[in-house]
Amino acid sequence: MKRYIKSSSNDDYDVFMLMDYYSDTGPDTTGMDGDTFNCLGKFFSKNLETAKQELKAVQEKHPGLKNMYSGLYVTAYNPYFDTNSDDPDDYYSVDNNVFGDLESLVEYGVDPDYLDNYDKYANEVDELPFDPTYVPEDNFLRNCLNEALDIVEFDPDYADDIATIRYNYNMPNATYDIVIYFEDGDSLEYSFVIDKIIKLDDDQVSEGARIISNELYSALKASGR
């Protein structure tokens, strides 16, 4: 179904932003510097209070929205967060338009079937959603883990067998939950307790990586690989 981007010429309306906030919680947190603010789009509304009411109404209409974006909020237009593009090919993109209301923005920007059936699709996902690509030099724990995964993934004994490795930080359990995917379609899940390396000095990345990789090797052997 084709959707149209609305606009408003009414002087009583101002521009607001739908934002998603993500807090950098660690364990290798960089504090507030690591917090993320993403603008999901712009829309017209009478005032901030009305915009907040629109957000509440949209979340009630589409419960999956809260699961997809846990840190949603609305705010007055701030050019700092505006992702407007000068590329002519992006003329009709969400970033380059202001929607007539918040519901239009949400329903245009998110696939409606996915939006209203989030739980069904979430249960079908068999791969961890977080595959970090940014590794600060002072991020000791994550550096240990990435080095350990490289050791295992590129080990000649496993290089042809392992397709890829994904991991996610499990904050309540203080573990790195690791999934090793194999070329034959199988996978192996393993949780590494970060307390085992958290007391190492910052210059002991190789030692931390050795501890993690040794546990992964043991898990692989126990699984018959």
pLDDT in tens, 176-215: 889 898 888 889 999 998 888 888 887 888 999 999 999 9
> Strand order in 162-170's β-sheet?
162-170, 175-182, 187-193
Per 3-state DSSP, the chain is made up of helix, strand and coil in percentages (nearest 5) of: 35, 20, 40
Q: Which of these, 38, 20, 40, 37, lies nearest to 106 by C-alpha position? A: 40
Looking only at the bridges linking them, the beta strands covering 36-45 and 98-99 are parallel
Taking a C-beta distance cutoff of 8 angstroms, is the pair 222, 214 a contact? Answer: no
Q: How far apart are CA 190 and CA 180, in angstroms?
A: 8
**Higher pLDDT residue, 93 or 53?**
53
3-class secondary-structure state, position 222: helix
In tens, the pLDDT along 5-17 reads 344 444 567 889 8
pTM above 0.85, yes or no: no
**Higher pLDDT residue, 111 or 203?**
203
In tens, the pLDDT along 151-171 reads 998 899 998 889 888 887 776
Q: Which of these, 216, 193, 214, 180, lies nearest to 141 by C-alpha position? A: 193
In tens, the pLDDT along 170-185 reads 766 778 889 898 888 8
Sign of the torsion formed by the C-alpha atoms of 35, 86, 88 and 8: positive
Let me know if 32 is exposed, middle or buried by CB neighbors in 10 A (0-12, 13-18, 19+).
Answer: exposed
Q: How far apart are CA 40 and CA 43, in angstroms?
A: 10
